[in-house]
Amino acid sequence: MESIKESVKNMPGFNKFQEKYELMKQQVLTDPNVMRFLRENPDISDVQAEKLLSNFYTYRNEQLACSNCPGLENCPNLMKGYRSELTKVRQTVELRYKPCELKMIDDQKKSMSSLIKSYFIPKEILDARFERLYNPNMDEARSIAIQKAYEFVQTAGAGQKSKGIYFYGKFGVGKTYLLGAIANGLAEKGIHSLMIHTPEFLREMKQSLSDGSFDSKMKLLKTVPVLMLDDIGAENMTNWVRDEILGVILQYRMMERLPTLYTSNCDYDMLQQHLSFSQKGGLDEVKALRIMERIKHSSHAVFMGGSKNFREDF
């Protein structure tokens, strides 16, 4: 009776298969990286090397793919974004995997992104960087505002509780983008921040009363290490928003000395007037003053200048 080995040899196409196999084996075993590994491990015999051909083949192909890297998204390796390495383990050879440079950069970006939470903030703002803000021809007020923002990032988490900043200025000078740059600067230091577009978020807070998420959102705003309230003063002011949302959040953060940053088209006086609005008619100046005292106590007012509309660059 014919053995299985002999039967395989007699199968149609076996000779071509054998030729391809021998060619592949030669290519693999003469690969510079594989040859270097075998030289470093002289106890691996030729017979053993052939038995380990599958691992050597995978290693060679992945090294070739890495040398002509098509980018992380199109990585053809068995584990996307990982480089294989040959490792001698007792009497055999195993493939071990380590992340490549692109994978590590991508992981770092994702890690940073996880440190930045946002509500109703455009994507380009979340990609903001301080380098994008500097301009040799910018006016002094704008330069000072950027410097104050940069100093805030540098001192954040340095063991001392720092005050927040109230950035104010006309529409379109880059106040929101500046908050985005701060958020990314904090993320590089491993500090969590939450950035919200205040008018839109306050509208959502009203809806959250019915979907059961109000308490969790309030807790997040009160306790996040750095809170950023973008465009405060542009919301539709109601007694409930002022007293039960802003008042409660800012009181907690002031007592816990957690920094809050703001952007607004209003200076302190204009914001106080806005907060004085009462649905019952007239002005509720006492309650507005109470909110303003919390803001003033825990932040520095910084004017952000600029003669052109910063949004034109996007």
Selecting from 3.40.50.300, 3.30.1490.20, 1.20.1260.10, 3.40.50.920, what CATH number does the domain 110-313 have?
A: 3.40.50.300
Which token pair is 236? Answer: 């539709």
Q: Which amino acid is at 21?
A: Y
Domain positions in the chain: 4-99, 110-313
Residue 273, pLDDT score = 93
Give the pLDDT confidence of 103-122 residue by residue, as tens digits: 876 776 665 556 678 788 88
Give the pLDDT confidence of 145-167 residue by residue, as tens digits: 999 999 999 998 766 678 999 99
Which one, of 190, 208, 17, 13, lies nearest residue 116 by Cα? Answer: 190
Residue 298: is its pLDDT beyond 60?
yes
Give the pLDDT confidence of 184-237 residue by residue, as tens digits: 999 888 899 999 999 999 888 888 888 888 898 899 999 999 999 999 999 888
Compute the distance between CA of residue 164 and CA of residue 297 in angstroms, rounded to an integer: 9
| Percentage helix, strand, coil for the chain under 3-state DSSP, each rounded to 5 | 55, 15, 30
Residue 89 has what DSSP assignment? E
**Adjacency order of strands within the sheet including 260-264:** 116-119, 193-197, 226-230, 260-264, 164-168, 299-303
Give the pLDDT confidence of 246-267 residue by residue, as tens digits: 999 999 999 999 999 999 999 9
Compute the distance between CA of residue 212 and CA of residue 210 in angstroms, rounded to an integer: 6
Which one, of 58, 63, 96, 101, lies nearest residue 81 by Cα? Answer: 101
CA angle 243, 263, 200 (to 5 degrees): 60
- Cα distances from 25 to residues 83, 264, 287, in angstroms, run 22, 69, 82
Residue 2, pLDDT score = 46
Residue 188, pLDDT score = 86
CB 118 within 8 A of CB 227: no
Residue 277, pLDDT score = 81
Tell me the whole-structure pTM to 2 decimals. Answer: 0.67
Compute the distance between CA of residue 291 and CA of residue 110 in angstroms, rounded to an integer: 36
Residue 115, pLDDT score = 66
Compute the distance between CA of residue 122 and CA of residue 274 in angstroms, rounded to an integer: 26
Compute the distance between CA of residue 76 and CA of residue 56 in angstroms, rounded to an integer: 17
CA angle 147, 169, 302 (to 5 degrees): 40
Q: What percent of the chain has pLDDT over 90?
A: 36
Residue 183, pLDDT score = 92
